[in-house]
Structure 1
Amino acid sequence: MILHSASDITQTATDSLNSIMDASIGGFTFEKFISTAILIIVCLIVRRILIHLIGGFFKRLAIDRTLWNFLMSAIKGILLFTVVVIVAESLGIPSSSLIAIFSVFGLAISLAVQGFLSNLAGGLMILVSKPFSVGDFIDVASYTGTVTQTSLIYTHLLTSDHKVIYIPNSEISASKIINYTRQTERRIEIFVTASYDSPIADVKNAIQEVLDRLPDILKDPAPEVHVSAYQDSSIQYVVRGWAPTDSYWNAYYDLLEGIKDAFDRHDIEMNYPHLNVHMVKDTDIPVQAMKESSNFISAADNPKTILSKDS
């Protein structure tokens, strides 16, 4: 009797379990829900393992941290999408339909955030090509400053007067970039003028003394002083010297001040635009001729007061 009752209980439990397994909601049986849940758990575990392995691989490559974060986010999204497709297939949803829905959805989003995507693409180009790094002093998109941060959307620039400028990466990737700190040395180039009355050798020696005296001017490559042009009232000289990048501006300003002091010590005149007034006591030149002359100007219609212009 007891065995018979136990058999009945077992049979009842089996029938109940079978009825539960055969029960369906919206065409999906309980058995399918259980198998789908197990599939989701397995897929998520595999996804986590793959993310861990890929992350370790990227760390060994020693790539830029910002680029690393972006790649890991993209990989996580791709793996999650793969999990969704696999689960949808197990539930009987065609993957082609799912991909088509995501494609239309992605197209709509891309049109809505076109500017964002262009900045994102520009940020990726910058991170891959690395035309500059944090701490570099650059000139880009009509702005000059020190790079303080690079992200996928904006590059942060700190100007010399401590303004923080956020430049869209799309604008940077389409502009010319000048990196002043990529090299360890920079060349200084200054143009100065001296009177024709000052011998060329004296002018060059005076400038050379300054170049030799300044500690920030490198001896190799050797600095240079040359005549670069003969102007209307002066001779133009070009001064070139090399300085460490970190000391460039100190050397530049010291050289400017040193040249002026050296010219004063050696009585070398720096020419500048001025007017010479010539007083003519007796002249037979008609007033009209003096007015039409390109070299003389009549002052107050007085033919005896002549102004000549020197530049």
Structure 2
Amino acid sequence: MNTDTISQILELSIGSLSVEKLFYILLLTLLCYIVSKILLKIFKRIIQRFSPDRSIQVFLNNGLKILLIFISIIIITEYLGIPTTSLVALLSVASLAISLSVQGLLSNVAGGLTILFTRPFAVGDYIKLDSLSGKVTQTGLIYTQLLTPENKTVFLPNSQVAEGRIINYTSQTQRRIEIFVGASYNAPVEDVKEALHEAIRSFPDLIQEPLPAVHVRNYQDSSIQYVIHAWVPTELYWDAYYILMEEIKKSFDRHHIAMDYPHMNIHMIGDENNG
């Protein structure tokens, strides 16, 4: 094929689109594709270094991919001589319409990104969100999944999670047990404290630094209120709590200490003139 034949082929046209122009459009499209692939590969390495979470990587990667496609379309339409201002305006209106229609979804995505970046909890943590408690089994961009103690699976919208008050019970390796106990005013303070320490010693896995402590907390209408403070490994918290609750009653019974309940004493005073 000689040079004249190639020139004749390039001069052929389909409407206003010549073969030469079509060739350059394909070449430009290929160039945009190659550049986009390189940029996506570099960006993927960067986000893998700074964010190990798979959900964040996929979300950011897809966002950059859409942006690069949009830029490629603008470049190609500019080459074709099509005014891009109207195209940009059309895409802006379409984006606004889509964003309004999926406003709730976008707020959940924003909440999901907040959770994934700030990391107030991780999968496997036991948390309390407002009045709901459970173990985190999955975190995503739209929902956070909890498994409650009743074995119920709850899907929480991330917008609510990000705005809610989160208590993470398992982020620390130790937890403090706090138990309030009421004892009769007739029982000597030292005897009550000894009985409570005896109950504490029944659970050997309590942490000894800091040492478990018993204090007089309050003088109530019908009893003296004592408080137990004891540290325990987080995974043993409920075992220790329930065992101590049982042992306190047994120890009080052994020491003949009454757990007084609210009551009122009424003293009848007779009329001395009535014999």
Is the pair's TM-score, using the shorter chain for normalization, greater than 0.5? yes
Residue 153 of structure 2 corresponds to residue 164 of structure 1: yes
User: Match for 1:107: what amino acid?
Assistant: L
Q: Aligned to 2:96, which of 107, 126, 129?
A: 107
- Tell me the CA shift for residue 213 of structure 1: 3.2
Query: 1:23 and 2:29 equivalent?
Result: no
Runs of 4+ in 1 over 6 A off after TM superposition: 275-278
Residue of structure 2 in register with 1:289 after alignment? none
5 Å matches for 1:152-301?
152-273=141-262, 283-284=270-271
Corresponding position of 1:87:
76
Q: Is the 8 A contact 2:222 2:260 kept in 1?
A: yes
Judge conservation of contact 2:185–2:224 (CA < 8 Å) in 1.
Answer: yes
What are the Cα deviations for residues 256-304 of structure 1, in whole angstroms up to 9, with x where unaligned?
11111100111111112457798x7x9449xxxxxxxxxxxxxxxxxxx
Within 5 Å, which residues of 2 pair with 1:22-41?
22-25=12-15, 27-41=16-30
Larger deviation: 178-187 or 91-100? 91-100
CA distance in structure 2 between the aligned counterparts of 1:53 and 1:233, rounded to whole angstroms? 72
8 Å contact kept, 1:157–1:164: yes
Q: Between the two proteins, what is the percent identity of the paired residues?
A: 48
Instruction: Provide the C-alpha distance between the structure 2 equivalents of 1:104 and 1:231, rounded to a whole number of angstroms.
Output: 67
How many residues are paired up?
273
**Structure 2 residues without counterparts, runs of 5 or longer:** none
- Choose between structure 1 and 2 for higher RCO, CA contacts under 8 A separated by at least 6 residues: 2
CA distance in 2, matches of 1:244, 1:24: 77
2-structure distance, mates of 1:55, 1:275: 73
Check the 8 A contact 2:202/2:247 in 1, yes or no: no
For 1:86, give the aligned amino acid: I
Instruction: Give the structure-2-normalised TM-score.
Output: 0.91
Q: Shift of the alpha carbon at 1:20?
A: 6.0
- Alignment-mate amino acid for residue 8 of structure 2: N
1-side partners of 2:183 and 2:242: how far apart?
A: 19
Tell me the alpha carbon deviations over residues 193-215 of structure 1, each in whole angstroms, 9 at most, x when there is no partner: 11111110000011112223312
TM-score (norm 1): 0.81
1:98 Cα offset (Å): 2.2
Counterpart for residue 133 of structure 2: 144
1:64 and 2:47 are equivalent in the alignment: no
The letter for the 1-side match of 2:23 is I
8 A contact 2:9–2:19 mirrored in 1: no
Q: Which moved more, 1:94-103 or 1:247-256?
A: 94-103
Q: Which runs of 5+ in 1 are unaligned?
A: 1-8, 286-311
Larger Rg: 1
How far the C-alpha of 1:141 sits from its partner, in A, is 3.5
Question: Does the 8 Å CA contact 1:141/1:171 hold for their aligned counterparts?
Answer: no
Counterpart Cα distance in 1 of 2:113 and 2:270: 78
